[in-house]
Amino acid sequence: MLTGLVAYWDNLRDGIYRLFIFPEYWHGIRLPALVPYVALAGIFAFTLGILPMLIWIERVVIGLMQDRTGPNRLGPRGLLQPPADVLKLFFKEDIQPGSIDVRLYYLAPFISMLVALSAGAVIPLQTVTFRNVHGGLYTVPVTPGNVNIGLLFMLAASSLGVYGIILAGWSSNNKYSLLGGLRASAQIISYELAMGLSLLCVVLLAGSVQLDHIVNAQNTLPFGIHWLPSFLKGSIFSWYWLQSLIVPVVIYTVAMIAETNRAPFDLPEAESELVAGFHTEYTSMKFATFFAGEYVNMLMICGLNASVFWGGWLPPFNCFPFTFIPGFVWYILKVMMGIFFYTWLRATLPRLRYDALMNLGWKRMLPLALVWLFLLAGYSLVRTATAPHITPTAVVTVAHVAPGR
């Protein structure tokens, strides 16, 4: 009975999926070539569109958690508060303090925003299927740049983001700003190591640093156990948060909060010690750009988290009600779960002391991540191979190709 029902729904699903298979050529236009542009427009529109809403979400969630009302003046449930805030920031007086390094002072917010946005260039939203002229099907990941260094690109973008903060702290010519900038650089360098190591654990299992390969490598039965039912294929139990045995995702989650300077790791802008930290001297839209840059950075880091540890566009179970929902909805849902987690921590945890922060980064998380990397290296030797693309023949071909000119 149950299997019959499942088969019925599977047939229905396949029928609906057939509607979403695009031809390769449409009126002479090669459609797969348009996918990156669609993805770029989608990521930009989503990121910049959700920004004001993120602030609203954060206020409402914190209000609920701390038993307060939250925004409730403008519009239903305070929904018009974000546009009002944006308007207010536009019309605030733009103050330029004296004795600053003018060029770097104006450059800093833009670096912050630009670098954060550029990380979106490699994020895969979902896959789309095309039928070529011979009737064969192939899938293309919906991402602006499907490069083979996707993960490294994200890491590079997140590590370059610190320049905006350092330069803001430096060029403001203010003790508090400088201290904020110094704290930010020290913190980001420290936590980047643990973050990179926890991502390396996943790279070991997936056998690739290309983000869509990493997501596709999660589309297996949990731990490669072949007798499990098919609705668990690519399910929540086969994503890398569990397959890498939980520790890397914990390390990454802590490191990602430290990387984006959010509570409880928001020492660079600790208001009780440093006024407002690195953006003390910034007003109106320059401050707003920093603010937006921070939120974009959060979105991108959560996006990496979602595709590396939480299965990207894969639905939590490979069966009827979940598979009807398109992949990018799942992806955005996972990103927003990350944002909710950020808000949750901000609402509940007090700020760390500076030495506690450094101890956690260097003496707890880094050794743990290193040990786990070695354990997983051993484990990935004995587990069933999920990377069939690295075969002895491939080694031989590259050995012939590589030493040539």
Residues within the interface to another protein (CB under 8 A): 104, 147-149, 152-153, 155-156, 159-160, 162-163, 166-167, 169-170, 178, 181-182, 185-186, 188-189, 192, 208-210, 390, 394-395, 398-399, 401-405
Please, which residue, 5 or 398, has the CB nearer to another protein? 398
Q: Smallest gap, in angstroms, from Cβ of residue 147 to another protein? A: 6
Residue closer to another protein, measured from CB, 188 or 298:
188
b/e burial code for range 331-363 (CB count within 10 A of at least 16 → b): bbebbbebbeebbebbeeeebbeeeebeebbee
Rounded to the nearest whole angstrom, what is the least distance from the CB of residue 283 to another protein in the complex?
A: 23
Q: How far is the CB of 313 from another protein (least distance, A)?
A: 22
Residue 261 CB, nearest approach to another protein (Å): 14
Question: Which CB sits closer to another protein, 42 or 180?
Answer: 180
Could you tell me the smallest distance in angstroms from the CB atom of residue 253 to another protein? 21
Contact 146, 325 (CB under 8 A): no
Q: Given the complex with another protein, which of 332 and 369 has the nearer CB atom?
A: 369
Q: 161 CB contacts (<8 Å, ≥6 apart)?
A: 112, 115, 116, 188, 293, 297
Torsional sign, CA 48, 52, 58, 60: negative
Least separation in angstroms between residue 282's CB and another protein is 18
CB of 201 to another protein, least distance (A): 16
Identity of the residue, 195 or 270, whose beta carbon is nearer to another protein in the bound complex = 195
Question: Cβ closer to another protein: 72 or 159?
Answer: 159
CB of 389 to another protein, least distance (A): 8
Distance CA 109, CA 380 (A): 43
- If the CB atoms of residues 137 and 395 are measured against another protein, the closer one turns out to be 395
Least distance (Å) between residue 86 CB and another protein: 31
Residue closer to another protein (CB basis): 167 or 197: 167
Q: Which of 118, 219 has the CB closer to another protein?
A: 118
Alpha carbon distance 281, 98 (integer Å): 10
Apex 385 CA angle, 379 and 391, nearest 5? 120
Of 169 and 303, the one with the shorter C-beta distance to another protein is: 169
Residue 187 in tokens: 């913190």
Say how far apart CA 115 and CA 240 lie, in whole Å.
27
In whole angstroms, how close is the CB of 157 to another protein at the nearest point?
Answer: 8
Whole-number Å distance between alpha carbons of 72 and 61: 13
